Structure formats: structure tokens, C-alpha cells
């Protein structure tokens, strides 16, 4: 838990979010600024700053299993995208995957050009 981390606050229920999935290791909730019809952030509850700090295989498996379950429950098997950012592309310093599906805001080309 990092005091000023918005995702840690969501994990602790201290900040609001629309939650789609939760278990003991993972929480998944809507992005506040969606770039697609479905834009869910899949987040380990443990505060891990970024991909480069990942040193435990379990976290990757937990993330993958949560993402798979959300993809199934939202029937996105035919069209989804999983993305994660690092360095200056990462704006929240708590590891997260973006699960994107449905129509993209500005069309899919807008995303492909980022």
C-alpha cells in the first residue's frame, strides 16, 4: 500500500471505482478515461511500481487468470486487446494491464498510432 497511490486507494475501498472482478490478489475496474467501449484495468492488489519490478511469477499468472475470466464474462473472446505501459508511457505507478474491447474511441486507427 502506497499512501498516495490511487490504485492502492481503490484496492482499499478508499476511492470509488466500478469493479468487474476481485479476488485475494487482483482487482479489475473501469478506467476513469476509457479509450474503448470496454476499458478495464487489471491490477495486482500488491503495490508493484511497474513491469520492471515484477519478480514473482505468481503475479503474472494471477493477472492472466483474472483477464481471462473477464474476457469470458464479457464475451470478448473474438476481439480484445491487452496492453501495459512502462516508463514515461505509464502514468499511474502501480502495475496494471489495460483490457480493451468493443469500439475504440476515435476508431481503432487512433490506438494503432499511439
Which residues contribute to the site for ligand 5GP (CB under 6 A)?
A: 6, 17, 29-33, 41, 85, 90-92
| Measured distance CA(102)–CA(76) in Å, rounded | 8
Q: 30 vs 49, which CB is nearer to ligand 5GP? A: 30
- Report which secondary-structure segment, H or E, holds 99: strand 97-104
Active site residue 96: yes
- Residue from 65, 21, 12, 61 nearest 41 by CA: 21
CB of 78 to ligand 5GP, least distance (A): 23
Task: State the maximum Cα–Cα separation within the chain, in Å, rounded to a whole number.
Answer: 39
Contact segment (CB under 5 A) with Zn ion among 16-24, 64-72, 88-96, 97-105 equals: 88-96
Q: Which residues are catalytic?
A: 96
Amino acid at each position: 500500500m502506497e499512501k498516495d497511490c490511487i490504485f492502492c486507494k481503490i484496492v482499499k475501498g478508499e476511492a470509488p471505482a466500478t469493479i468487474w472482478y476481485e479476488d485475494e490478489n487482483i482487482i479489475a475496474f473501469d478506467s476513469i478515461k476509457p479509450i474503448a467501449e470496454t476499458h478495464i484495468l487489471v491490477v495486482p492488489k500488491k503495490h508493484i511500481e511497474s513491469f520492471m519490478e515484477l519478480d514473482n511469477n505468481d503475479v503474472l499468472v494471477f493477472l492472466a487468470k483474472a483477464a481471462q475470466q473477464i474476457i469470458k464474462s464479457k464475451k470478448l473472446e473474438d476481439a480484445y486487446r491487452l496492453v501495459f505501459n512502462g516508463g514515461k508511457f505509464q502514468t499511474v505507478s502501480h502495475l496494471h494491464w489495460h483490457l480493451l474491447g468493443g469500439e475504440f474511441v476515435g476508431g481503432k486507427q487512433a490506438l494503432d498510432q499511439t
